[in-house]
Amino acid sequence: MKTYRTLLIIVIVFSFAIISCKDDDNSTNPIPFSLKVVYPNNGESFRVTDTVAISWEAQGFGWDTVGPSVDIYLMKADRKWKYIDITANKGLYSWVINDPRRGNIPLPAEDYKIRVQHATEPGIYDNSDFPFRIY
């Protein structure tokens, strides 16, 4: 009987400690993951020989500038068309458009976008708001 009473007291004390630590004002709740493509994002035009400084902003759980990696994709007609690279989530990536090491070189078109996607959580991503042109 003494063991059950001790266990009951421990459970009650532990439950009280959890309830008393509850944060009613939500001030410490973490910001959910979010990504935002900054550039290219507004109908820019690039030559197939250009190098583009892809940039993005990230928020959530302490990986705003140095957290996990992101995947970068070239989108065509709002579909993933070409995997560009995986890179550290530092908000900037230098993309050589016609880099033969990266596979297919994009053909001239006006319906490209960039997708920046969390490397391990594919549901966390952002695409350029407006298409850009490669000529």
Q: What pLDDT, in 10s, does the model give residues 86-98?
A: 999 889 999 999 8
Q: What pLDDT, in 10s, does the model give residues 34-75?
A: 899 999 999 999 999 999 999 999 887 555 544 579 999 999
Residue spans per domain, the chain: 34-134
pLDDT at 21: 39
pTM (2 d.p.)? 0.71
Contact 56, 38 (CB under 8 A): yes
CA 79 to chain CA centroid, nearest Å: 17
Cα distance between residue 114 and residue 131, in whole Å:
8
What is the fold, at CATH topology level, of the domain defined by 34-134?
A: Immunoglobulin-like (2.60.40)
pLDDT higher than 90, residue 115: yes
